[in-house]
Amino acid sequence: MKKLVKTLLTTNPNIGFSIARLTLGLVIFPHGAQKLLGLFGGYGYSATMETFTTQMGLPGIIAFLVIMIEFFGSISLILGLFSRFWALALTGMFMGIIFTTQLEHGFFMNWFGNQAGEGYEYSLLVIGLALTIIVIGSGKWSIDNLISKKHLL
C-alpha cells in the first residue's frame, strides 16, 4: 500500500506540469460546483441526480460518481493532491461521455447550435491533460510534490 501511495504522489517538479494540472482542475471545478452545489447556474445535487438517472438513464452509482469526480476531483487537482488518481478518474469519465453521448455527433462541439448534441473535441482536451498528469504527476506547485520532497512516504 505504501508503494502505491508513493507512486501516486511522486511527481516531476516542473512548473509546466503544474500549469496543466491547474488548468484541468479550474476548468472542471465549475461543472462540479453546478452539479453538487447549484453554483454557476447549476441545479444542485438532487436535480442533477434526477436528470442523470431518469432523463439520461444512468445508474445511480454512475451519476453519483460523476458529481463527486467533477467536484472533489477538481479541487484535489487544483491543490495537487493525489492528482494521478483524479486524472485517471476524469479520463474514464470523459471516455464514457464520448462513447455514450458525443461520438454520434462528430468531432466538433456544437458552437452554432446546429447539431443535435456536442461533439467530443472538449472531451479529448480533458483526456489529453489528464493523461499528462497520470504520466508525469502533479508538478512543482502541488501537495503531492511537498509530500514527496519531505519524504513522508
Q: Residue written as cell 471516455?
A: 95
Query: 97: which 3 cell numbers?
Result: 461521455
* pTM for this predicted structure: 0.90
Cell 501537495, residue?
Answer: 143
Q: What is the pLDDT of residue 148?
A: 81
Residue 31 pLDDT? 98
Lowest mean pLDDT among 11-20, 42-51, 114-123, 143-152: 143-152
Residues 6+ apart with CB under 8 A from 90: 24, 28, 69, 73, 126, 127, 130
How many separate domains does the chain show? 1
Distance (Å, whole) CA 147 – CA 151: 6
pLDDT at 25: 98
pLDDT computed for residue 37 by the predictor: 98
CB contact at 8 A, 32 and 71? yes
pLDDT band at 11 (very low <50, low <70, confident <90, very high): confident
When the pLDDT of each residue in the chain is averaged and rounded to a whole number, the result is 93
Query: Of the candidates 82, 84, 75, which has an alpha carbon nearest to the alpha carbon of residue 136?
Result: 84
The CA-based diameter of the chain, rounded to the nearest angstrom, is 54
Identity at 28, one-letter amino acid code = I
- Look at residue 153 and tell me whether its pLDDT is greater than 80: no
| pLDDT for res 152 | 56
User: Rg of the chain over CA atoms, in angstroms?
Assistant: 16
The whole domain housing 74 covers 2-149
> Is pLDDT at 4 greater than 90 in this prediction?
no
pLDDT 10s digits, 57-115: 999 999 999 999 999 999 999 999 999 999 999 999 999 999 999 999 999 999 999 99
